[in-house]
A and B are shown apart, each in its own frame.
Chain A
Amino acid sequence: MSQDDVVARITSNPKFQQFVSTRNVYSNIMTMLMMIVYFGYILLIAFNKPFLAQKMSAGGVISIGIPMGIGVLVFTIVITWIYVRRANTEFDATKDAIVKEASK
């Protein structure tokens, strides 16, 4: 079976189109989330410094901005793993099934 045949069969398989659009929507949403969190934080710093400099507790020195900043770092790591988890299990399984079907 030649590779061209496999390509032609995958192209005509509606499950493939479905798969590509599901995954694209997912990765676009994740990219948007990351942009909102990061640029949101940066713009908050640009426009409202006093808010971020507020103290977490009365008498304490740590400001709200610090846990938020660490939070952005942790969010970045977590959102990457969430995507990779789903892509490496669910998406890969769907993809393998489509390829297998076309290679029969």
Chain B
Amino acid sequence: MSKQLKQILVAAGLLAAAGTALAAGADLGQAQKQATNWTAIVMFAIFVGITMWITKWAASKTKTAADFYTAGGGITGFQNGLAIAGDYMSAASFLGISGLVFASGFDGLIFSIGWLVGWPVITFLMAERLRNLGKFTFADVAGYRFDAGPIRTFAATGSLVVVAFYLIAQMVGAGQLIKLLFGLDYMVAVILVGVIMMMYVLFGGMTATTWVQIIKAVMLLVGATFMALMVMVQFGFNFESLAARAVEVHSKKDAIMGPGALINDPVSAVSVGMALMFGTAGLPHILMRFFTVPNAKEARKSVAWATTWIGYFYILTFIIGFGAITNLIPNPADYYVGGEIAKGLKGGGNMPAVHLAGAVGGDIFLGFISAVAFATILAVVAGLTLSGASAVSHDLYASVWRHGNVDQATELRVSKITTVFLGIFAVVLGVVFEKQNVAFMVMLAFAVACSANFPVLFMSVLWKDCTTKGAVAGGFVGLILSVSLTIMSPAVWEASLGNPKGTAMFPYASPAIFSMTAAFVVIWLVSLMDKSAQAAKERAAFPAQLIRSETGVGASGASGH
């Protein structure tokens, strides 16, 4: 691509941002009164400008498939840790968790813990082996000794299903949020997200995606730290007095200090916990990030830093939620519809953190936090799209269809074409699902990740007798079971599909406890029964795989160092 064309695209990006600013101006009166959207739009335009400039620089460095998928493997552990945090901390976790703390206090804390506990599991069981065995996608890991056709077809399916559900949740969330914060049309917001994200991935590949995620993570952490500090300053850094004031003003009074309705049925609680704990280790866009660092040591450092930042962030959201209680509830005229608490917060239940930003930092800071929320969505969808594109181009096209006989330039071209298709697909999904309740989609992505991707990865790396047939059979059982049980669960069957209450055939909040167990059992049984010559060959290849996974000898990108 010519330099000129790139400059035109950069200019177009800025113009798009400016154009939407105009559109927002017209909408300001009727949409949401609380946001002086101009500040937010200027801040967001600056973010887009900077990231487009980075994308241009990244484009000059993105020449091979390895550059595109893994930024050439040259990211440090600390940088990658921030990028993972940026990939993982979605707008939903920032606004949603602080909103949950605002609504029910303690339950928000329980919820956030679930989103962190998967990280040590990745560190202890996966990170190093993944780095040593893999090259571009997690299918490389399972594909090390297994028959490429079936195992990569499965892995690509698992990746694409997770990416699709995650994308729907992000796109619909993006549309609603931007409509609210910037006063844009839903349609305009969704297209804007799709176009900007596509430019990052298409031209800048993993290098641009990584830096967008790092910048976003830093902005989000700085913004959240500032809010939490301002709240703590109000109470002389005494959490007891913050909590006492919250209990005093909250309608649920002392109930916000104890567990509420979030966890009642132990089976659901354990099942959701399993989905979060093991699902994190099966998310393709997260696993892909381990191939961007040069070796296992840096891969471990990445997760340790990621865990630190994400955990720190959740502690902040807890304080922010309480700060929202003490700052917003006593001032219903400013923050509630019609000034009445009974009518709910302006903009809905996800807005406490945004309103609090205005309360403690004024309009400028409110604009900053709104821009951060937008940037957050871009960073997450860029990571998702990149991992979806690599599943198609590297696993399906290059390995399955062309049996590895494909040059780098062609593979790179296929991934770029896929990126465009995924971008359009994301926008279409965002539009199709606009009116749907998509809250369950992220949980569904985690359920599939823990029931299909994780068992296959785990068994292929750690169990010497595992075979292709076992892995593929178990993986598909986990995939089908997790999706169908989720559809039959109350969150989808009743809340989204509108069937009468009590008709859901699967009574629990998450299928993980059943679908993940089933996947492991099927992998084990089918592998045991597999007496084929291929199976014998695969078992014989285990010692070599073990050495590479444990020592990194022969690992991609590591041998030369």
Contact = CB atoms under 8 A, between A and B. Distances in A.
A80 B303 contact: yes
Given A47-B266, A99-B553, A69 B304 contact: no
A70 B109 contact: yes
B355 interface: no
B121 interface: yes
Name which of A7, A84, A92 has the most chain B CB atoms within 10 A of its CB: A84
The dominant DSSP class at the B interface is helix
B497 interface: no
Contacts of A16: 547, 550-551
A65 B364 CA distance: 36
Name which of A11, A43, A45, A49 has the most chain B CB atoms within 10 A of its CB: A45
A61 B113 contact: no
A2 to B, nearest CB: 11
Given A43-B269, A77-B308, A66 B106 contact: yes
A52 B264 contact: no
Contacts of A20: 546, 550
B123 interface: yes
B31 interface: no
Nearest to B123: A80
A17 B263 CA distance: 44
B244 interface: yes
A16 B550 CA distance: 9
A-B interface, 7 closest residue pairs, ranked by CB to CB distance from nearest: A53-B258, A46-B266, A27-B124, A84-B304, A69-B109, A77-B311, A63-B257
Interface of A: 3, 6-7, 10-11, 16, 19-20, 23, 27-28, 30-31, 34-35, 38-39, 41-43, 45-47, 49-50, 52-53, 60-63, 65-66, 69-70, 72-74, 76-77, 79-81, 83-84, 87-88, 92, 95, 98-99
Given A53-B257, A63-B106, A87-B300, 15 more contacts: A45-B263, A46-B266, A53-B258, A60-B240, A60-B244, A65-B257, A65-B258, A72-B113, A72-B117, A73-B116, A76-B113, A81-B308, A83-B124, A99-B551, A99-B553
11 contacts: A3-B554, A31-B124, A38-B113, A42-B273, A49-B258, A49-B259, A52-B259, A53-B258, A73-B112, A77-B308, A92-B297
Interface of B: 106, 109-110, 112-114, 116-117, 119-121, 123-125, 128, 239-240, 243-244, 247, 254, 257-259, 263-266, 269-270, 273, 277, 296-297, 300-301, 303-304, 307-308, 311-312, 314-315, 318, 543-544, 546-548, 550-554
